[in-house]
Amino acid sequence: MTIDLTPYLTDTGPKYLAIARALSEAIRLGELTPGTRLPPHRQLAENLAVSVQTVSRAYAQAEKMGLVQARVGSGTWVNALDDARESAYLRGHEPRHESALIDLSIAHPVCPPGHHLRFRQALMELADHASPDVITACRPIAGLPHQRERASAWLQSRLGVPGEMDDRILCNGAAHGLMLAIASVVQHGDLVLTEALTDHGLVALSRTLGFQLRGVAIDSEGIIPEALESACHRFKPRAVYLTPTQLNPTGATRSEARRDAVAEVLARHRVWLIEDDVHALLEAPSLTSLTARIPQLGFHVTSMTKITVPGLRAGYLTVPRGQLHHVLPRMRATTWMATPLIFELADRWIADGSIETMAAEQRELLGERQKLVSRLLGHHAFTSRPTSLHVWVTLPDAWRAEEMQQQAEQEGLAITTAVPFMVEQTPPPRRIRVSLGAEQDLQRLEEGLKRLAILLDESPPPMMQIIY
Alpha-carbon span 337 to 138, nearest angstrom: 7
pTM for this structure?
0.80
What pLDDT, on a 0 to 100 scale, did the predictor assign at position 347?
Answer: 94
What pLDDT is attached to residue 113? 84
> In the beta sheet, which residues pair with residue 315?
171, 303
Distance CA 11, CA 75 (A): 27
Determine the topology of domain 6-80 in CATH.
Answer: Arc Repressor Mutant, subunit A (1.10.10)
Contact, 239 vs 192, CB < 8 A?
yes
Q: What is the pLDDT of residue 265?
A: 98
> Which string of DSSP letters, residue by residue, matches 24-64?
HHHHHTTSS-TTPBPPPHHHHHHHHT--HHHHHHHHHHHHH
Taking only the tens place, the pLDDT of each residue in 61-79 is 887 766 888 876 778 888 7
- Given this model, what pLDDT does residue 1 score? 58
Q: What is the pLDDT of residue 81?
A: 53
398-422 pLDDT per residue, tens: 998 988 998 999 999 999 999 899 9
Q: What are phi and psi of 134, to 5 degrees?
A: -65, -30
- Judged on CB neighbours under 10 Å (0-12, 13-18, 19+), 358 is buried
At 383 the three-state DSSP class reads strand
- Give the chain's residues under pLDDT 70: 1-2, 12, 65-66, 72, 80-99, 425, 463-468
User: Cβ(319)–Cβ(167) under 8 Å?
Assistant: yes
Domain ranges of the chain: 6-80, 83-108+362-457, 121-352
**What is the C-alpha separation between 249 and 228, in angstroms, rounded?**
19
**Euclidean distance between CA atoms 64 and 46, whole angstroms:** 23
First to last CA, the chain: 17
Supply φ then ψ for residue 8, to 5 degrees: -105, 0
Q: The domain at 121-352 falls in which architecture? A: 3-Layer(aba) Sandwich (3.40)
**CATH class name, domain 83-108+362-457:** alpha beta
